A and B are shown apart, each in its own frame.
Chain A
Amino acid sequence: MALKKSDQIEGTCYEFCPEKRKKRLLYFIYCLYRRQRQRRVHLLERREPKRASSQRMEKDFLMIKEYSRPAAGKDATDKRDLRPPSILLEVVEYMMTDLATRDDLPWSEVYLFVFDRLRAIRQDLVIQRASCKESVRILECAVRFHIYAGYRLCEESLSKFEPKFNSDHCQECLKRLLVEYREDGFDSNNRAEFESLYILYNLGSFEVLQTSLQLPSTLRNHQRVKLAYDISTTFLEGNFVRLRKLVQQCDFLQRCAIHRHLPLIRRDSLAILNSGFYSKNIKFPVEVLAKWLFFDSTKEACGFCVLNGFVTTTDGIQFKREVPQLKPNLWPDKKSHQLVQRHFEAMSAPNVILGNQRNEQLPQR
């Protein structure tokens, strides 16, 4: 349990991919072209994708160590296979700058590749029991990557993107990052950003709010953390009008973190609206519902109401006396222009993930 100095290993692999594997993979490529087998070298590991196969050289590939499941009998602690934290950070920065902006393939595939290589990076960190400013920076980028991807790929089918899997890994990275901040004493300038993302990503979680109350007061009173705390408690109170007002102060990533809760926010709000505004003779105006619940058009809002068993006409929505049976909808399947998308075009993936625009607030509209 005690992290003694002797428990920490320092890897000696100064390449992005350990020699052993590289040679094995390169050999594999030559076999591959001879035997036309399924590619094990990813398109994203090729620097010059257009060069003819016979002319391909080792330097045409920038291979990155893949994730492999720990298995009995496999020695994962061979120093030559482990990349030290400084190299791992370089890999992350390379991936998020060069690869995350590649447009020769669908972003869902870029995501899968980066996710896998990121997992291998995290694995190297865990095996080396690394706890340093590089590991903090790597985890920060990982969290931003997962939150960003969770939004960007929300409209993809399940076969291309699995929101739960993405979310689970995001939570893992967040928890590990917070432990490094809170227990290992690595206070980064970005801590407030991530404490706030933790709260928003776990919107409405009593447990998370409780732990955030126990943060040191300078952090608890930081604008970002206070905002996140307010938003989460406001959500618990059911005050969705106030929630919407507060969200206007959020930056891009905070909005992405909230976006995943949109189906739940809408569902809870619809139940509250139904109770509060039910009347036999008066219908509720759809435009107001659309505005209050972050819909991008009255058409979309109507669709949502109909899906949940309500009748809508030109006069508005007819609410019901009895408690409605609402559709449980776990993950958002449509980007929200009002909440996030209108800010999306201005953001480049590297800037978001590497945090180069973290201090910029979005213009209030």
Chain B
Amino acid sequence: MAHTTLNHYLQQLETAFKRKRGPQAATLLSFKDPHIANPRLQMEEPETQCEQWFEPPIDELVAAHIKCIWCVSNHDFAQAYGYQSVVVQSFIREFQSHKEENWALPIMYTIVVDLRLFANNAELQLSRSGKGKPGEVLEKAADTIMACFRVCAADNRAAVQDSKKWGMLYLINQLFKIYFKINKMHLCKPLIRAIESSNLKDKFSISQLVTYRYYVGRKAMFDSDFKNAETYLSFAFVRCHKSCKQNKRLILMYLLPVKMLLGHMPRITILKKYDLMQFADIAKATSEGNLRLLERTMAEHEGFFIKSGVYLILEKLKTITYRNLIKKVFLMMNSHIIPIDAIMAALKFMGQEEVDSDEVQCIIANLIYKNYIKGYLSHQHNKLVVSKQKAFPPLASFL
């Protein structure tokens, strides 16, 4: 493979297209395949030969692919991205002309992944040399992938097994990866709508569904929709194959905070298994109402939490920590009328030296507002009066 001549390569590709062998064509156009290391395929101007073997637009597609190989051999990823974009756009034109057949889907998957990866590399190259706006290349890649998506989504005529709609979820996952990277998560919404309203929703392959649920789960987290986030991320974690340990760890990194916010603390065994011990003290602090330990752990592993994007979510655990601390005070006082001063003393003991009674009242008012505590405050008497029944409802019951 790595030593064929250009003509031989073109012949193999032409056969694949003529006989509609999607996977074979895809391999011949993939940058994971060894043919890209073949110096005889690193050509700057292959148009003439391509035109001999193929009709438009496939001749453009193949020529662009070869030019891309040439760019990659020169480490010019910005240019490589440009040519890969041409590959995808030519493919779209060809794909649209395939009526009621979807054999070319494997090609689409391959070239789209390569497009995204080149966009990543191009961004890196550009930012190092201080040029261009960050995210610009990725956005353009996303636009191109959207064009593919529209072709797939619009395929209403073909029978289910020949439908291009099967390509939708794969493309959406690629788009998710880009939107998350450039921090434009709101663009995910229409895509999610498209899948949820599709009749193929649960029939896609498991790996695609796991990826999909992972991203939708993360987005739900971002939107503070923790109940749904838990559902999606749990699915992704459970259905992710046990051999993909790295992926499972990644899913867990987001699932853990969500579960903790819903009051479910993780077991140490699972934290050890997936090398996520940073969450151990977080869980301990939260369930004990130990604000001091929570703050200390957040500070200690700040870099890790920020990098994985869960820092802000973990800060929300403060609310549950307050709730657990106040519950302890309640149990100690053994009365459903609790003086604010007692709670203030507990908070000061936990390192919150600057709170005054106004602030404590405010914190408690928030807990009541969010249904963590059943009761009411009296500003004039400086007291909290909790309900005689279920003053501190179990967390999962109302969230």
Which A residues lie at the B interface, using CB under 8 A? 1-4, 179, 182-185, 206-207, 209-211, 213-214, 233, 237-242, 245, 271-273, 275-279, 282, 284-285, 288, 292
B302-326 Cβ-contact flags toward A at 8 Å (1 or 0): 0000100101100100110000000
Alpha-carbon gap, A242 to B361, bound state (A):
11
Alpha-carbon gap, A282 to B380, bound state (A):
9
CB distance from A260 to the nearest CB of B (A): 22
Which B residues lie at the A interface, using CB under 8 A? 78, 126-127, 129-134, 136-137, 140, 183, 185, 222, 306, 309, 311-312, 315, 318-319, 358-359, 361-366, 368-369, 376-380, 385
A-B contact pairs, 25 of them (CB 8 A): A2-B126, A2-B131, A3-B132, A4-B131, A183-B127, A184-B130, A207-B185, A210-B309, A213-B306, A233-B315, A238-B369, A239-B359, A239-B363, A241-B358, A242-B362, A245-B359, A273-B365, A275-B365, A275-B368, A276-B377, A278-B376, A279-B376, A279-B385, A285-B380, A292-B358
A276 near B376 with CB under 8 A, answer yes
A277 near B358 with CB under 8 A, answer no
Across the interface, name the chain B residue whose C-beta is closest to A213: B306
Q: Given A2-B132, A210-B312, does the pair A237, B369 have CB atoms closer than 8 Å?
A: no
Across the interface, name the chain A residue whose C-beta is closest to B307: A214
Q: Which of B136, B315, B362 contacts A239 (CB 8 A)?
A: B362
Q: Which of A2, A239, A272, A288 contacts B78 (CB 8 A)?
A: A2
Q: Which of B306, B309, B315, B369 contacts A276 (CB 8 A)?
A: B369
Q: Which residues of B contact A3 (CB under 8 A)?
A: 131-132
Alpha-carbon gap, A288 to B78, bound state (A):
61
Q: Which of A2, A242, A272 contacts B359 (CB 8 A)?
A: A242
Shortest Cβ-Cβ A-B pairs, 7 listed: A276-B365, A275-B369, A241-B362, A2-B131, A1-B132, A238-B366, A241-B359
B78 near A277 with CB under 8 A, answer no
A sample of 12 more A-B contacts (CB under 8 A), given A272-B365, A282-B380, A292-B362, is A1-B78, A1-B132, A2-B129, A2-B132, A4-B131, A179-B134, A213-B311, A233-B315, A237-B366, A239-B359, A277-B365, A282-B378
Q: Which residues of A contact B312 (CB under 8 A)?
A: 206, 209-210, 213, 233
Alpha-carbon gap, A285 to B361, bound state (A):
14
CB distance from A307 to the nearest CB of B (A): 21
Across the interface, name the chain A residue whose C-beta is closest to B133: A179
Chain B, interface SS category: helix
Across the interface, name the chain B residue whose C-beta is closest to A207: B183
Across the interface, name the chain B residue whose C-beta is closest to A184: B130
Q: Which of A185, A233, A279 contacts B378 (CB 8 A)?
A: A279
Q: Which residues of A contact B363 (CB under 8 A)?
A: 239
Q: Which residues of B contact A207 (CB under 8 A)?
A: 183, 185
Q: Which residues of A contact B78 (CB under 8 A)?
A: 1-2
CB distance from A139 to the nearest CB of B (A): 15
Alpha-carbon gap, A240 to B311, bound state (A):
22
